Chains A and B, each alone.
Chain A
Amino acid sequence: MRYQTSIGAFVLAAALSAACVGAFAFDETKYPDWRGQWDRIGAPRWDPADRLNERAPLTEEYKAIHAENLADQVAGGHGTEPTHTCLAPGMPRAMNVYEPMEIVVTPHTTYILIDHIQDSRRIFTDGRDWPKEIEPTFAGYSIGKWLDSDGDGRYDTLEVETRAFKGPRAYDASGLLLHRDNQSVIKERIYLDKADPNTLVDEITTIDNALTRPWTVTKKYRRDPKDTQPFWRETICAENNNHVVIGTDNYFVSSDGYLMPTRKDQPPPDLKYFEATPK
C-alpha cells in the first residue's frame, strides 16, 4: 500500500529552490552545533526508564501478542522481533542508536547517520509538505522544523514528524511490536541539554494503533568533545548472522556449518525439493 499524501507544484518549487541555492545562501549561525559522534546512554532498550517495557500502553490485542512473543523467545524463538534476519529496525527503533550516530545539519535536510543495517535518516527541513504518494519504508518519511524556543535568534530544537512506514517493526529486542497496519506517526523534539551541550535529548512520541494513547519516551545521547576524529565502525548485520528462516521456522547455522534447531524438539525443514540424499 502506498502512503497517500501529496507533493504539489509549490512544494516542488520550494524543493528545487532549496537545491539550487540552499547550499550557499543561508545564515550559518542560526543552527546549533550537533557535530561529533553521539553514543546512546545505557542499553539499547526502548524506554530507558522501563527495562521490561511494562509501562507500554498496549491495547489488549497487542498485550496478548506481546505475551505470546515473550513466551516464544523463552522457548528459543524470536517472537515478534523482526531484525534477527537483518531487517532494518526502522522508526522509532533506529533512535535506540545501536551504533554511534552522526548528525549533519544543512538548511534543507538534517541527516542522521548510523552505521547499523539501514538506520540512517533524512529529515527534510525545506518547508515541504507530505508528498501525495510515498513508498513506505522502515525509516519512514520525515519532515522537520527548526525552532528558536528561547527567542535568542538561533535555532535550538528540531521538531520532526515521521510517517509512511512499512513493517514489521518493534521498539527493541524484546519484540514489543508496533501495529501491523503501519499507520504509526512519530513525533520528535531533538535538542541539546541546556545544562550540558554534550548531551543530546530526543523526546519521542509514538502514535500507533497498537497503543491506547500516545507513548512518549525521552532518550539521551552523549558526545565526547575531545574526540575530534572519532572512528566510525562499519557494522554489517548480514556478515555473521547465523539465523536462517526456512518456511516460517527459524533455524541456526552452527559454527561448524550445520543447520541446527532453535527450540527443543523442533523438526528439521522440509527438503522435498532435493532429490539427493542428505549429506
Chain B
Amino acid sequence: MIRKLIGATAFALALGVAGADAQIPDLSKYPDWSGQWRRPPGLGIQFDQTKPLGRGQQAPLTAEYQAIYEAGLADQAAGGQGTDPTYRCIPFGMPRMTSAIFPFEFLIQPHTTFILSDYNMPRRIHTDGRDFPAEFEPNFAGYSIGQWIDTDGDGKYDELRIETRGMRGPRSFEASGIPLHEDNETIVKERFYLDKNDKNVIYDEITTFDNALTRPWVVTKKYIRQVGPVVWFEQNCSEDNHQVLIGKENYFLGGDGLLMPTKKNQAPPDLKYFNLPRR
C-alpha cells in the first residue's frame, strides 16, 4: 500500500494558491465527499453503532469511571441527568460529535477540511502541515490536525487521518453519560474513508485514548450520503430547552413555563434572595 502524506508539499501548494490570489483551489486530488451525510436509517445515537446505548456499549472504563458511570445511570433512573452534560446545551465535543445526531457536510479545502453540522460549531481539521501549537485554548471540539493519504497510489487522496487534542469538558461519549476523564487529556485518532463499493457510504474509524479507559476504545461509524435534494436545518439547542440548572439541582420548565421537579420529592430552589411573597 502506497501512502502519500500531505506535508510540506501541500503546505507549499496552499501558499501557492494564496499567492495566486484565488480562493477556490484545485481539488482534483481530493475525494468527492460533498453532500449531506447522516447516520444510517433506524440507528440510534449510541457511540458504538454496533451496540446498544448504555451499558451495552461495553465501554472499557476504569473501575473508578465505571463507578462514576453507574452513579450517573442511577441518577438518570431517578429523573436526573447523570453524567450527560449536554442537557444544558453544552456542546457534545469530541468524540461524541461524530455521532451525527444531525446531518453534516464536509467542506474540503487544501489547508482545512471543515465538518459542518447545523448543531455543532464548525469543526476545523487543519491539513496545511502544521504541528500542534505549543499552547492553545482548549475547547470541546479540540484542535484537529489531519493528513490526506493516497492509500492505493492512484494519485488521488482517499483517506483523511486526524488527530485531535486540546479538549475541555465535561464530555461524555453518548446520552447515557459514559464519561471521559475529567483531566481532559483525551486524544482522538480518526480515519475517514469511503466504502470502496459504495461512494455514498463513508466510515470514520475512531480510536479514543483517555484516562477513563483501560485501553484505547476503537469504534467504526458509518454514515450515508443523501441522494437528491437536501435540506439543512438550524438546530438551536437553547430555543426549546426546558432543563434548568440552579445550583447543583436540575429542574424542568413545564408547558406553562413554571418550574417543576425532575425527581420524586425534590426540594424547590432556595429563594433566599427574594424579599417578596411567592406568586
Within 65-119 of A, Cβ neighbours of B (below 8 Å) are at 85-88, 102, 104-107, 111, 113, 115, 117-118
Report how far A222 CA is from B20 CA in the complex, Å.
21
Within 20-75 of B, Cβ neighbours of A (below 8 Å) are at 20-28, 30, 32, 34-35
Spell out B's residues near A (CB within 8 Å).
18, 20-28, 30, 32, 34-35, 88-91, 107-109, 114, 116, 118, 121-122, 124, 126, 128, 130, 133, 136-137, 139-141, 228-229, 231-239, 241, 244-248, 253-254, 256-261, 265-279
Q: Are A269 and B258 in contact (CB under 8 A)?
A: yes
Q: Which residues of A contact B23 (CB under 8 A)?
A: 28, 31-35, 104-105
Q: Are B244 and A28 in contact (CB under 8 A)?
A: no
Q: Are A137 and B234 in contact (CB under 8 A)?
A: yes
Q: Are B273 and A270 in contact (CB under 8 A)?
A: no
A184 nearest CB across to chain B (Å):
16
| Given contacts A19-B35, A244-B246, A279-B268, A118 and B274 within 8 Å (CB-CB) | no
- Closest A residue to B270 by beta carbon equals A279
B93 nearest CB across to chain A (Å):
9
Q: What 6 A-B pairs have minimum CB-CB distances, sorted nearest first?
A: A257-B247, A86-B238, A234-B139, A238-B89, A137-B234, A274-B268
Name 11 interchain pairs, CB-CB below 8 A, sorted by A: A28-B23, A118-B234, A118-B235, A234-B139, A237-B238, A246-B253, A247-B257, A270-B279, A273-B254, A273-B258, A274-B259
Q: Which residues of B contact A138 (CB under 8 A)?
A: 234, 236
A252 nearest CB across to chain B (Å):
9
Q: Which residues of B contact A28 (CB under 8 A)?
A: 22-26
- Closest B residue to A259 by beta carbon equals B269
Report how far A218 CA is from B244 CA in the complex, Å.
39
Q: Which of B107, B247, B257, B265 contacts A111 (CB 8 A)?
A: B107
Against B, the Cβ 8 Å flags (1 = close, 0 = not) of A258-279 are 1111000111111111111111
Query: Residues of A within 8 Å of B, CB-based: how many?
Result: 74
Report how far A91 CA is from B266 CA in the complex, Å.
41
Other A-B contacts than A19-B34, A259-B246, A269-B278, 4 sampled, CB-CB below 8 A, are A120-B122, A231-B136, A259-B270, A267-B276
Q: Which residues of B contact A234 (CB under 8 A)?
A: 91, 121, 139-141
Q: Are B122 and A238 in contact (CB under 8 A)?
A: no
Q: Are B268 and A266 in contact (CB under 8 A)?
A: no
Q: Are B273 and A258 in contact (CB under 8 A)?
A: yes
Q: Are B234 and A113 in contact (CB under 8 A)?
A: no
Report how far A88 CA is from B233 CA in the complex, Å.
13
Q: Are A104 and B107 in contact (CB under 8 A)?
A: yes
B100 nearest CB across to chain A (Å):
17
Report how far A231 CA is from B269 CA in the complex, Å.
40
Report how far A26 CA is from B265 CA in the complex, Å.
65
Q: Are B91 and A279 in contact (CB under 8 A)?
A: no
Report how far A24 CA is from B26 CA in the complex, Å.
7
Q: Which residues of B contact A237 (CB under 8 A)?
A: 89, 238
Q: Are B267 and A279 in contact (CB under 8 A)?
A: yes
